[in-house]
């Protein structure tokens, strides 16, 4: 099964972001983007890809240990940026360093469990809200709505799928996130999430995400 470790924002934070995204989707050209449904909003910490059944017990054990070693911490959804003209994302304010440490532990847990992992890259949290529909050329450089929010990272909600440039400029949508700052919330849980790919040949269908296990932080 296709798995990743993640932090899921609470419904109150999701609702605040959904109100801002609704305004962004009313901007000219918004139909040129594929907007991620709110049910799919999450911060990927480590992407494991296809995990064999016989590896799952050890992966669960390792992630439980990772969660135990970290304490709950405070974040808020805030600001945003883009990857060229491919992806629009929302960043975080608060104890993002604690989130980075949790991501590093989740990745290390996957490696120790025997999951084949890509090379380590520094983790910069972001939550993807939209992707370009059209493809042309692009180089994958991150662009930021502000200097203190996230950038490229080792596990987006796209989970390694390649994307290229778009004929739709993402600048207006990033500008629309510049002053966004949601309520503070507590990261208190590490989740293991399964990604169910969309059915082939069904236009507009998005992946479905299922939480298969979760561990409280600090317990």
Question: Quick one: which of 3, 183, 210 has its CA closest to 107?
Answer: 3
Check: CB of residue 163 under 8 Å from CB of residue 135: yes
Cα 51 from chain centre: 19
Check: CB of residue 35 under 8 Å from CB of residue 21: yes
Q: Are strands 142-144 and 208-216 parallel, antiparallel or unpaired?
A: unpaired
Is 126 catalytic? The answer is yes
Token pair 């932080």 is found at 217
CB-based contacts of 202, cutoff 8 Å, min separation 6: none
Torsion of CA 175, 139, 160, 15, to 10 degrees: 0
Question: Quick one: which of 27, 159, 166, 148 has its CA closest to 84?
Answer: 166
Question: Quick one: which of 97, 83, 181 has its CA closest to 132?
Answer: 83
Q: What is the DSSP letter of 149?
A: S
> What is the token pair recorded at 71?
């304490």
Among 124, 126, 149, 153, the one annotated catalytic: 126
Among 42, 73, 144, 154, the one annotated catalytic: 42
Question: Rounded to whole angstroms, how far apart are CA atoms 3 and 28?
Answer: 36
Catalytic annotation, residues? 42, 126
């Amino acid at each position: 099964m296709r798995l990743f470790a993640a932090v899921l924002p609470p419904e109150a934070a999701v609702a605040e972001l959904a109100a801002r995204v609704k305004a962004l989707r009313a901007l000219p050209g918004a139909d040129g983007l594929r907007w991620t449904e709110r049910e799919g909003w999450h911060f990927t910490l480590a992407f494991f890809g296809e995990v064999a059944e016989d590896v799952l017990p050890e992966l669960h054990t390792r992630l439980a240990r990772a969660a135990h070693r970290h304490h709950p911490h405070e974040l808020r959804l805030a600001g945003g940026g883009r990857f060229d003209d491919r992806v629009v994302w929302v960043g975080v304010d608060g104890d993002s360093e604690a989130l980075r440490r949790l991501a590093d532990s989740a990745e290390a847990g996957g490696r120790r469990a025997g999951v084949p992992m890509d090379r380590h890259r520094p983790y910069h949290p972001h939550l993807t809200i939209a992707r370009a529909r059209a493809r042309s050329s692009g180089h994958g450089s991150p662009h930021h709505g502000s200097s203190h929010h996230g950038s490229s990272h080792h596990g987006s909600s796209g989970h390694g799928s390649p994307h290229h440039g778009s004929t739709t400029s993402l600048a207006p949508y990033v500008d629309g996130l510049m002053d966004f700052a949601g309520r503070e919330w507590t990261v208190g849980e590490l989740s293991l999430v399964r990604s169910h790919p969309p059915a082939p040949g069904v236009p507009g269908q998005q992946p479905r995400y299922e939480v298969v296990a979760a561990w409280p932080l600090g317990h």
